[in-house]
Amino acid sequence: MRLDRFLSNLAQFSRADARLLLAGGRIRVDGAAVRDGRCEVREFSRIELDDQLLQAGKPARFFMLHKPLGVVSATCHPEHRTVLDLLDEPDKHELHIAGRLDLGTSGLLLLTNDGLWSRRLTEPRSRLGKVYRVTTEQPITAEYIEVFAHGLYFAYENLTTLPAELQILDSHSALLTLHEGRYHQVKRMFGHFQNKVIGLHRERMGPLQLDPGLAPGEYRALSAAEAALV
């Protein structure tokens, strides 16, 4: 929210108080004096009045997980293990998933407590490509490349998919780059050619690639530099 609104929402300050404190340069956000009440602050921001701490700010947390097959991309599930069950972290209930994967899909999964970060990563308008390794039952031909590049019409949603890039690796496998996340999109795209997807693995989301050192079910924290890439 805006800084002036944050201040006026505190019991000890009125709107007039907030304006005076800002004008006097007495409010610091993450160590820097701020005079503009329109400054956006978040739950991660440290906010101080002179030597008084108004909000400590909690650390943003980012994790990369190699999701195995058979694990649900959810925080709880009555039948299956969830990705949170794989984490040995305090307050893991505060984390959410940035871009879910189906039960039968493996690969890169990112978890965070930062909603703005995850939205930047997953919103179609961000145009951050998600790269999947696809294995199919029938051969993949060059025709797929052209059709995917033009987009496919999905009647159920009454929409045409965004252009997608396909790189054929061999007769039955390819790398597919998507810029959106429709329901069972990869399977439906290959289903256009009556070709069943029998293996699906996400390798990359935007600038972040699955760490080859992570075995299925393993995870690690992202570095500050990696998180800043998004």
Chain segment 15-49, per-residue pLDDT in tens: 999 999 999 999 999 889 999 999 998 888 889 99
- Residue in 4, 17, 36, 102 annotated catalytic: 102
| Catalytic annotation present for 4 | no
- DSSP bridge partners of 40: 2
Q: Which comes out higher in pLDDT, residue 165 or 74?
A: 165
Mean pLDDT of the chain: 93
**Domain residue ranges in the chain:** 3-55, 62-224
pLDDT band at residue 77, thresholds of 50, 70 and 90? confident
d(CA 205, CA 132): 9
Q: What is the per-residue pLDDT for 44?
A: 86
Q: By the 8 A CB rule, do 134 and 200 touch?
A: yes
Q: What is the pLDDT of residue 150?
A: 96
pLDDT, mean of residues 73-83: 88
Q: Is the pLDDT of residue 169 over 80?
A: yes
Judge whether residue 144 has pLDDT over 90.
Answer: yes
Per-residue pLDDT band at 80 (split at 50, 70, 90): confident
**Which two tokens mark 91?**
């307050």
Q: Do domains 3-55 and 62-224 have the same CATH topology?
A: no
pLDDT of residue 30: 86
Give the pairing of strands 62-67 and 219-221. Answer: antiparallel
- pLDDT, residue 34, reads 95
pLDDT higher than 80, residue 225: yes
**In whole angstroms, what is the distance from residue 15 CA to residue 225 CA?**
38
Question: Which CATH superfamily does the domain covering 62-224 fall into?
Answer: Pseudouridine synthase (3.30.2350.10)
pLDDT at 127: 80
Give the type of residue at 126.
Answer: S
Name the CATH code of domain 3-55 (choices 3.10.290.10, 3.30.420.40, 1.10.10.10, 3.20.20.370): 3.10.290.10
Q: Which helix (H) or strand (E) holds 4?
A: helix 3-9
Residue 74 has pLDDT above 90, yes or no: no
CA–CA separation, 50 and 63 (whole Å): 35
User: Which range has highest mean pLDDT (6-15, 49-58, 77-86, 194-203)?
Assistant: 194-203
Lowest mean pLDDT among 153-162, 195-204, 217-226: 153-162
Q: Rounded to an integer, what distance in angstroms lies between the CA atom of residue 9 and that of residue 6?
A: 5
